[in-house]
Amino acid sequence: MDGAVVGSEYAAHLTDTDLTLLASVAGAPAPGGPPGAVPLLPADSDAGSLRRDPAAIPGLLGDPRVFEAVFRWADTSRPPRPGEAVPVSPFLTFAVAVHRSATELESVGHVAERTGPRQRVPLFDAPALREFLGSPERKLFLAELLASFTRVASGRYRVRGGGRTRTRRFSELDPVRLAGLLDGVPDAERPGVYRRLGDVSLFLAGVFPDYATLYGVGPAGVARLLRAAQVPAAEQERLATVPAIELLEQLGARWYRAAHHLAPVRTARLDVVADVAGRFQQARRVLNHIADRYLFATDHPWFAPPAP
């Protein structure tokens, strides 16, 4: 995807309120900047002008003034809480957090790696994470992923087997139950289920690694997931004993590849899914950083942990 296409994808998610904020901030001179500094956008820019020229949007999301406007706004009726977000859409908040993290990782030598519940050690892998976030398409992918879990789908479906029909439940935050959908959907819908299985694996490992480590999946659930991911029998015994985060990385990458391989039509968006499959660990570590810095650093975190 080129810059105009990526910008159009952002515009499709952003509300007029979001775009108005971007235009108002980027159309003003940078405070404290050199005399005669040119704003990023013309002073009369508005939501409509950004919708007509969306190629400018990705660059605005990384602007420090946009970060300040979204994450450090001041409500004159009370003191602002650190990290509190302005009332814009969740998607804009996540997109700004992703772009801010890309800027931060340009100047750090290490990131915190999870080694257990609430345990972190320095990991000198920042160059790989910078490279991951160097792609506009991958930044968009992460913002969309986070926004997709602000509402979690759940429900019931019916499967037939052994001459009888049974009703099962599923939740997008329960990979074992979600994998059960593969038994009940037509072949044409399987790529979508594989894609969502990849999403939930990355979301849990990236945003809730402590939950994944503490509660994980029982032996029966692990076996079911390995079968759903079509892991060869020779590898199943090894993967059945790896730490929960590594298991989610392995399964998530497989599910993303399956979604790309089985899709009846290959699109540029699906090509990004396949690309992330090959960089799943980097994607997970980037989300760990974003979660620590921006998703749970306030009194009102964006996501509640899944039920044990």
Model pLDDT, residue 226: 92
DSSP secondary structure letters along 72-112: S---TTSPPPTTPPPSS-HHHHHHHHHHHHHHHHTT-S-EE
Out of 46-60, 127-141, 154-168, least confident range: 154-168
pLDDT at 82 over 50: no
Strand 154-161 vs strand 119-123: parallel, antiparallel, or unpaired? unpaired
Q: Which two tokens stand for residue 273?
A: 């899914």
Whole-number pLDDT of residue 282: 95
Mean pLDDT of all residues in 87-110: 90
How many other C-beta atoms are found inside a 10 Å radius of the C-beta of residue 282?
18
| Average pLDDT in the chain | 83
Q: Span 264-286, mean pLDDT?
A: 95
User: Residue 2 in 3-state DSSP?
Assistant: coil
Position 304, amino acid: A
pLDDT at 144: 98
Res 13: pLDDT: 97
Of residues 5 and 169, more confidently modeled:
5
Higher local confidence (pLDDT), 185 or 169: 185
Give CA–CA dist 96/108, Å, rounded. 19
pLDDT digits (tens, 9 = 90+) for 23-51: 888 776 555 444 444 466 776 678 898 89
Q: What is the mean pLDDT of residues 296-303?
A: 69
Helix (H) or strand (E) holding 156: strand 154-161
Phi-psi region of 135 (alpha: psi -120 to 50; beta: other; left: phi over 0): beta
* Position 15 confidence tier, pLDDT thresholds 50, 70, 90: very high
What is the pLDDT at residue 145? 97
Q: How many residues are recorded in the chain?
A: 308
pLDDT per residue as tens digits for the range 217-255: 788 889 889 988 889 988 998 998 888 899 999 999 999
